[in-house]
């Protein structure tokens, strides 16, 4: 999924959802996206052209569905490449602790978001060490 901006990214999600609803053949990446979309029925009504330019405001209790879905895809990419190195092993360890895979993914995404937020605050690259340490903390809880 190579997009240049927020609108293109959102349009891609919307187009994939429309293809799925119309029972059109899907590319492999689109199949992965549909799997994530199907785990989030609460976002289905937001996958429309009307929301391409919409700002979702957390201070108003809104969750940005496109960001959330993108984070799920980022995690899948991390798992497939084992980058940062060791995430795949940590994920498998966490699977023994957390029975609900989707809940586990949300816990991991919280660590990812924290890592990205910290990097933004420091104007630096995200720390793989801090990210993996956050995941290790989940094992200890």
Alpha-carbon distance of 113 to 119, in angstroms, equals 10
Please state, in angstroms and rounded to a whole number, the distance separating the CA atoms of residues 110 and 134. 9
| Cα separation, 72 vs 70, whole angstroms | 5
The predicted structure's pLDDT at residue 133: 98
Main-chain phi, psi angles of 35, to 5 degrees: -55, -45
The pTM for the full model equals 0.91
pLDDT of residue 3: 73
- What is the C-alpha separation between 64 and 58, in angstroms, rounded? 8
pLDDT at position 27 is: 97
* Domains in the chain: boundaries: 1-61, 82-141
pLDDT given for residue 4 in this prediction: 82
From first to last of the 141 residues of the chain, give the pLDDT tens digit: 567 899 999 999 999 999 999 999 999 999 999 999 999 999 999 999 999 999 999 999 999 999 999 999 999 999 999 999 999 999 999 999 998 999 999 999 999 999 999 999 999 999 999 999 999 999 998
Paired tokens of 106: 């949300």
What's the angle, vertex CA 72, arms to CA 56 and CA 38, rounded to 5? 85
């Amino acid at each position: 999924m190579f997009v240049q901006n927020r609108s293109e990214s959102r349009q891609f999600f919307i187009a994939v959802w429309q293809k799925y609803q119309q029972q059109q053949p899907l590319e492999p990446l689109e199949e992965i996206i549909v799997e994530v979309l199907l785990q989030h029925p609460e976002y289905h009504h937001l996958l429309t052209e009307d929301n391409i330019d919409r700002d979702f405001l957390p201070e108003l209790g809104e969750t940005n569905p496109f960001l959330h879905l993108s984070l799920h895809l980022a995690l899948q990419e991390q798992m497939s490449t084992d980058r940062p190195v060791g995430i795949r092993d940590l994920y498998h360890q966490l699977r023994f602790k957390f029975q609900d895979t989707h809940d586990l993914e949300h816990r991991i995404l919280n660590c990812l978001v924290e890592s990205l937020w910290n990097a933004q605050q420091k104007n630096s690259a995200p720390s793989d060490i801090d990210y993996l340490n956050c995941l290790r903390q989940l094992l200890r809880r």
